Amino acid sequence: MTATLQALHDSLCDHFGDRLSGSFLRHSQITLEVKPDALLDVCRELRDTEAFHFEQLIDVCGVDYLYYGKADWETEDTTSTGFSRGVDRAVFDEHVSEPARFASVYQLLSLKHNHRLRVRCWINDDPPVVPSVMDIWASANWFEREAFDLYGIVYEGHPDLRRILTDYGFIGHPFRKDFPLEGNVEVRYDPERKRVIYQPVTIVNRVLVPKVIRHDNRYLVDEQAEPEKQQ
């Protein structure tokens, strides 16, 4: 399988050349990186070129790299061995073509060749704008609406780009890293008004830190008692 993936990766790189800003083969997965202005041409050729034939779009998702590499859990002894959620930002920057805050990621499937492919499009604009791929894969309809709703990524050319998961009057994009964990408003049913109402948030935000085993006096050897035991 590795040889097959390597051959596909080499074929993709040779075919698209400078239109790719980066390409990677890691963890048995091929990733192509493209810029927004080349996204539609690359995606259309991935679908129509007989050697690739990625006729099915499995998923479209947004990614927010705002705090990528920042650890929320800092411990004295175990940060580098498992308790920290942080990722080495320097290592990340070495393996991407042009890191930006937002990216739109496309998961493709070739039923004919039994191949999978990930296409990542970095978005440097504010607000983030990327062309819609609905004309290439109709299944992108709800996927792009979801990424717009949760991350605020604008898919230019989408015929009906509106929220799909949050409420009609929702403000903000809840999957963005700077969106407060407790939200901006609270929703509840008011029995007196007999309708759902919005009110200020009543919960208090807190960061949960995993328990770390520390030195405890219950497990320390009583040095003064040791001589008595020996006698």
**Model confidence pLDDT, tens digit, residues 38-60:** 999 999 999 999 999 999 999 99
Query: What's the pLDDT at 124?
Result: 85
Omega within 30 of 0 (cis) for the link into 200: no
Q: Are 43 and 106 in contact (CB under 8 A)?
A: yes
Whether the pLDDT of residue 222 is over 60: the answer is no
Convert the pLDDT of each residue in 125-151 to its tens digit: 888 999 999 999 999 999 999 999 999
Query: What's the pLDDT at 217?
Result: 61
Query: What's the pLDDT at 27?
Result: 86
Convert the pLDDT of each residue in 90-106 to its tens digit: 656 655 656 688 999 99
Query: What's the pLDDT at 227?
Result: 53
Per the prediction, the chain carries an average pLDDT of 83
Which of 53-62, 71-80, 105-114, 164-173 is predicted least confidently?
71-80
Query: What's the pLDDT at 83?
Result: 47
Q: At what angle do helices 2-16 and 36-48 cross, to 10 degrees?
A: 120
Q: Within a 13 Å sphere around the CA of 123, how many CA atoms are in the beta-carbon half?
A: 25
Query: What's the pLDDT at 63?
Result: 93
Architecture of domain 2-65+100-176: 2-Layer Sandwich (3.30)
Which band of pLDDT confidence, cut at 50, 70 and 90, is reported for residue 37? very high
Average the pLDDT over 85-94 and give the result.
59
Domains in the chain: boundaries: 2-65+100-176
Which band of pLDDT confidence, cut at 50, 70 and 90, is reported for residue 88? low
Which band of pLDDT confidence, cut at 50, 70 and 90, is reported for residue 168? confident
Rg (CA), the chain: 25
Whether the pLDDT of residue 61 is over 60: the answer is yes
Q: Rounded to whole angstroms, how far apart are CA atoms 42 and 24? A: 16
